[in-house]
Amino acid sequence: MSFMATDLRLPTERIVRPDKDRFLNEENPFEAMMSRFDRAAELLDLEPGLYKVLRHAEKEIIVSCPVMMDSGEVEVFTGYRVLYNTSRGPAKGGIRFDMAVTLDEVKALAAWMTWKCAVVNLPFGGAKGGVICDPFKLSVGELERLTRRYTAGIVATLGPDSDVPAPDVNTNERVMAWVMDTYSMRMGHTVTAVVTGKPVEMGGSLGRREATGRGCMIVTKEALKHLGLPVQGTTVAVQGFGNVGSVAAQLLSAEGCRIIAISDKSGGYHNPKGIDIAAALAHVKKAKHLEGFAGATPITNEDLLTMEVDVLVPAALENVITSKNAGKIRARVICEGANGPTTAGADNILDEKGVFVIPDILANAGGVTVSYFEWVQDRGGYFWAEDVVNQRLNEIMCRSFADVLQLSRQHKVNMRTAAYMLSISRVATVHRLRGIYA
């Protein structure tokens, strides 16, 4: 196997897992990530020292961010930045603004970024950041001050060679512009490559905004091809109508799929004849949410998940497919647009039902892939046409899907375990080559 060609493993006994009994809570995202990691590590027969190294985040930063509110009062927000592993290159990972942010969640997302970058073979490590706040309740000025103060709090780790953030839930190009500006002020010169997902006018890449949804579309088509199913007329339900979900819906629809259900925080919307995605996008642009969208009948998010469709794209938040509802899932293919939408407890149930799951670390890697392109373009100072970006994204997503599929066949494991095996073996190989500084 080419990716495990450099096997420098020490002859040691099998893995010990002294803290395995701690991992009992299905909905703790870090535990969910770790249970998948453990399974792949066991199959790879990872040596104990390396196993322990890869089970720990390199760095966890907690910052208090005082912000002058418009009322004149000072409010203090808590922010996190976790660098999980940087053996393969600078840490890469988004920043989310959400009331549900916890350190465990940020740690899990940072680890996922490590595996995700390795699955698509990018020269990056993994990181994630988050601030506990409700951005919908903040004014633009408050949001900018919070972003700048959070950036100042983590500035020592940021940098094109060390840690490169990107947008995530409830953050966008504008927030990235503030992060870039705050960092550049500290450095005394403009440093575009410190963040990705920036506006195109200031060093962003064409195609970045659509990249995650485009990646979902590409791997969904690859999965349908593998299963011998046609793309034309394939029925699709998409949970989440933000950056990832709305673009995935739009592009799958453009490929000939019939999007019969979409949803957001306000609820689900169903139309068996197919939803006009352009009309739904226009509605959200005006109303901020899908609520009141006339082109479909309201349903619940739970109804959407368990509806009879060919493809289900969970593209909102984590832990929406659990051991409680996995038995009711009727989709043939699940394309995980979100990070961690399926709990470890649900995996076996989906396997038994024969659902083909394209795991998050592969399915939504399109975003970080074009973030990598953006970082390369910023550092080179030479920008690519959009069709070049899309074509290179297509190549990487198709090749990565094929790598994971080949490994899943070879080891008779599902796509998730195969994706973890591939990425962990790539990270492990670099650790062995570099040596552990212990």
Q: Look at residue 257 and give its three-state secondary structure.
A: coil
Query: By CB under 6 A, is residue 270 in contact with ligand NAD?
Result: no
Give 207 or 242: the residue with its C-beta nearer to ligand NAD.
242
Query: By CB under 6 A, is residue 250 in contact with ligand NAD?
Result: no
**DSSP for residue 322:** -
- Which one of residues 86, 87, 121, 170 is an interface residue with ligand NAD (CB under 6 A)? 170
Query: By CB under 6 A, is residue 241 in contact with ligand NAD?
Result: yes
Which tokens is 209 given?
A: 């905004």
State whether the Cα torsion 118-121-124-129 is positive or negative. Answer: negative
Closest distance of CB 220 from ligand NAD, Å: 15
Packing angle between helix 29-44 and helix 415-434, nearest 10 degrees? 70
- Which one of residues 142, 264, 347, 378 is an interface residue with ligand NAD (CB under 6 A)? 264
Give 50 or 311: the residue with its C-beta nearer to ligand NAD.
311
Query: By CB under 6 A, is residue 390 in contact with ligand NAD?
Result: no
Query: By CB under 6 A, is residue 216 in contact with ligand NAD?
Result: no
Closest distance of CB 227 from ligand NAD, Å: 24
Closest distance of CB 115 from ligand NAD, Å: 13
Region of 381 please: left (phi>0), alpha (psi -120 to 50) or beta.
Answer: left
Which tokens is 96 given?
A: 């989310």
Task: For residue 69, give every residue at least 6 positions away whose Cβ sits within 8 Å of its Cβ, in sequence order, or none.
Answer: 75, 142
Which tokens is 46 given?
A: 């990872």
Task: For residue 147, give every residue at least 6 positions away whose Cβ sits within 8 Å of its Cβ, in sequence order, or none.
Answer: 175, 178, 179, 182
Query: By CB under 6 A, is residue 342 in contact with ligand NAD?
Result: no
Query: By CB under 6 A, is residue 105 in contact with ligand NAD?
Result: no
The residue number whose beta carbon is nearest to ligand NAD equals 242
C-alpha span between 120 and 321 (Å, rounded): 25
Out of 92, 107, 116, 128, pick the active-site residue: 128
C-alpha span between 328 and 322 (Å, rounded): 10
**Residue 60 Cα to chain centre, angstroms:** 19
Which tokens is 334 given?
A: 């699940």
C-alpha span between 162 and 141 (Å, rounded): 29
* Binding segment toward ligand NAD, per CB under 6 A, in 67-75, 144-152, 164-172, 218-226: 164-172
Query: By CB under 6 A, is residue 243 in contact with ligand NAD?
Result: yes
Query: By CB under 6 A, is residue 220 in contact with ligand NAD?
Result: no
**Residues in region 345-384 near ligand NAD by CB under 6 A:** 364, 367
- Which one of residues 47, 142, 163, 168 is an interface residue with ligand NAD (CB under 6 A)? 168
Query: By CB under 6 A, is residue 261 in contact with ligand NAD?
Result: no
Query: By CB under 6 A, is residue 337 in contact with ligand NAD?
Result: yes
Give 216 or 428: the residue with its C-beta nearer to ligand NAD.
216
- Which one of residues 117, 316, 331, 397 is an interface residue with ligand NAD (CB under 6 A)? 316
Closest distance of CB 318 from ligand NAD, Å: 6
**Residue 283 Cα to chain centre, angstroms:** 26
324 is catalytic: no
State whether the Cα torsion 12-33-366-90 is positive or negative. Answer: negative
Query: By CB under 6 A, is residue 301 in contact with ligand NAD?
Result: yes
Q: Where are the alpha helices (DSSP H) in 163-231?
A: 173-187, 208-227
- Which one of residues 220, 235, 263, 369 is an interface residue with ligand NAD (CB under 6 A)? 263
Which tokens is 138 given?
A: 């903040």
State the CB neighbour count (10 A cutoff) for residue 296.
23
Chain contacts with ligand NAD (rule: CB under 6 A): 167-170, 212, 239-245, 263-265, 301, 315-317, 337-339, 364, 367
List residues with catalytic annotation.
128
